[in-house]
Amino acid sequence: MKLAATLCALVAALFLASLLTGWVAANPAAALRALVAGDGTPLSVVMQDIRLPRAILAVMVGASLGLAGAALQGYLRNPLAEPGLIGVSGAAALGAVIAIQTGLALVFPLALPLSALAGAVAAVLLILMLAGPRGGSITLILAGIAISALAGALTSLVLNLSPNPFAAADIVFWMMGSLADRSFQHVWLALPFMALGWALLLSTGRALDALTLGEDAARAMGVDPFRLRVTLVLGTASAVGAATAVAGAIGFVGLVVPHLLRPFVGARPSQLLWASALGGAAMVLAADIAVREVLPERDLKLGVVMALVGAPLFLHLIYRTRREMA
Amino acid sequence: MTLLSLNALTVRRGECPVVDAVSFSVSPGECVGLIGPNGAGKTTLLRAALGLLPHEGLSSLSALPARARAAQAAWMPQSREIAWPVEVETLIALGRIPHLPRGARLRQEDRAAVDAAIARMGLEGFRTRRATELSGGEQARVLIARALAQATPLLIADEPIAGLDPANQIATMQVFRALAEEGRAVIVSLHDLGLAARHCTRLLMMGAGQLVADGPPPEVLTPDNVARVFGVTAFWAETPQGPVFQPLEVTR
């Protein structure tokens, strides 16, 4: 429980720091007073309509990605599983891009998240089909590469066929992943899907624990493999799909966070679920603060920063896995 | 009362039956050894009996709903998977999952079952070790303890003693025998016919998917059966220290 308290405190502190980070300089006390007051002053508008939704979205997106990563790793019994790496985020992005490009997103506001969700569902199903129930690392990563490549190629095709270069540039920036200029509309759009995803994923804890002993032993302990798979697919797709729909593709959170936290929960998959949700929230909050602090005059993208931090960690993880296998 | 009854259990791979119309039942107090050469269908039979494989014929276990089945029989698969570096005690406590109410933590009785399993398998000194860092034999004992912690009337184990040292092989077979004497039942597949002869109350001999012989060890391990199914000759003697069985020469 010490870990839970620590992670909660960390998320709270970073949430506060995120609220106090941004273009408009104001002393913290005044800013927080303006946030609560909502008196229509410019500072109050900035706090309530720009910074608050941004911080809330960082928590939601981070929690979704961290949780989905931990659940996928537990299910596939593989520390290299991650929604971004195995193509789920890429496929969700493809779905979103199609919705933007076809103008569907303008006609019908739910088209963007639903389309991202559909992309994510397709990718998770393909991954589970290709990687097989035993989830060997190599088949999983290869399946992930193939699906990422396919999603990337189809996204490029959409851009390629885009009649308007400005729309294309918009999409490219959107895909880099960012939480800048999001509003409460985005929060309300994503929240129902994410909440559904969280509930589904958190319910898999005990089955994931049982899977530590392999699929056969888990089934003999009363775990229904079909139900677990469906829960996991829908949960991951709905959490990651919604995250991608509002924030673009943000990779490596689901890889790095469970990896860092695993030793602190005694490697138990069920405990890693909530820990990774909190850890993911903290990580995205921190990265989103860094994005605004490091190069405030350039619009540095969250997904870019995440990948810059995550990719070296991923390499380190592969190096360690290789050493353990040798 | 029987803990498991199979009636004409058949498993096909394509057209070819891998397990061919096997029938038997197991009662409390029995320590049943399932023997047979590689590829005889032992693992397939056990998995089908547990309802882990599609099959024809009847198995009283696979007919149960998943939760009731988990309360009736514990299963230790041959592949000794331990996916994450969890502590030994945590791993053994996974055996309590079928008994825990939704969302509950380990209760007093669960801890007692885990402690009893640890004591039985002599794992007291390993409690806080990481299961993935143990030797293969130690992992096998931890996984047996995990199955024991499930505290079911029936324990089914697929080659649990393969890879153990002689002392631990004997100790494990004695644990199984003790469980049977307490009124539970054990079905264990194994390749060491000497241990099977000494510690099991009953042997099931499989060859090419069929149940060739079923009965007390002296009636099953006859020279004829052993030659026909395993293709070896063997030495058998009743000694003051109990039965001794030793395969000798390959006959084919």
Closest chain B C-alpha to A285 CA, distance in angstroms:
29
Query: Which residues lie below 8 Å from residue A32, measured CB to CB, with a gap of 6+?
Result: A19, A20, A47
CA-CA distance, A289 to A33, in Å (whole number)?
Answer: 21
Query: Which residues lie below 8 Å from residue B118, measured CB to CB, with a gap of 6+?
Result: B89, B92, B124, B127, B145
Backbone angles phi, psi at A212, to 5 degrees: -55, -30
Q: Is the pLDDT of residue B1 over 80?
A: no
CA-CA distance, A191 to B159, in Å (whole number)?
Answer: 50
- A210, A214, A268 ranked by CB distance to B86: nearest: A268
Q: Is the pLDDT of residue B197 over 60?
A: yes
**A230 at the B interface (CB within 8 A)?**
no
CA-CA distance, B225 to B60, in Å (whole number)?
Answer: 29
**B74 to chain A: nearest residue by CA?**
A220
* Higher-pLDDT residue of A165, B181: B181
Complex-level ipTM? 0.90
Using a CB-CB cut-off of 8 Å, the residues of chain A touching B81 are 77, 212-214, 217
Which CATH number is associated with domain B4-220?
3.40.50.300
Every domain of chain A and the residues it spans: 2-325
Q: Is the pLDDT of residue B241 over 70?
A: yes
Mean residue pLDDT of chain B comes to: 92
- B52, B67, B95 ranked by CB distance to A216: nearest: B52
For residue A130, give Cα distances in angstroms to A102, A104, A127, A198, B156: 30, 31, 5, 25, 32
Lowest mean pLDDT among A166-180, A207-221, B78-92, B125-139: A166-180
Please choose, from the candidates A110, A104, A151, the residue with its C-alpha nearest in 3D space to the C-alpha of residue A127.
A151
Which CATH number is associated with domain A2-325?
1.10.3470.10
A270 token code pair: 């069920």
B192 token code pair: 């060491």
CA-CA distance, B7 to B57, in Å (whole number)?
Answer: 6
**A199 at the B interface (CB within 8 A)?**
no
- Provide the pLDDT for residue B85: 92
CA-CA distance, B56 to A271, in Å (whole number)?
Answer: 40
Using a CB-CB cut-off of 8 Å, the residues of chain A touching B94 are 209-210, 212-213, 221
- Provide the pLDDT for residue A133: 58
- Which letter does DSSP use for residue A46 in this model? I
CB contact at 8 A, B148 and B120:
yes
Count other Cβ atoms within 10 Å, centred on residue A319.
10
For testing contact with chain A, the best of B52, B64, B72, B84 (most A CBs within 10 A): B84
A259 token code pair: 């990896």
A228 token code pair: 């677990």
Cα angle vertex B207, ends B8, B232, to 5°? 160
The type of residue at A114 is L
Residue with tokens 């050493």: A323
Which residues are A280's β-sheet partners? none
Please state the rounded mean pLDDT for residues B96-116: 89
Closest chain B C-alpha to A34 CA, distance in angstroms:
42
* Higher-pLDDT residue of B239, A129: B239
Count other Cβ atoms within 10 Å, centred on residue A10.
17
Largest Cα–Cα distance of chain B, in whole Å?
Answer: 58
CB contact at 8 A, B108 and B96:
no
Taking 70 as the pLDDT cut, the residues of chain A under it are: 131-138, 140, 324-326
Q: At what angle do helices A137-160 and A165-175 cross, to 10 degrees?
A: 160
CB contact at 8 A, B196 and B213:
no
Closest chain B C-alpha to A279 CA, distance in angstroms:
20
**A219 at the B interface (CB within 8 A)?**
yes
- Provide the pLDDT for residue B44: 94
* A109-151 pLDDT tens trace: 778 878 888 898 888 888 878 766 555 556 767 888 888 899 9
CB contact at 8 A, B23 and B60:
no
The verdict on a CB contact (< 8 Å) between A220 and B50 is yes
**A210 at the B interface (CB within 8 A)?**
yes
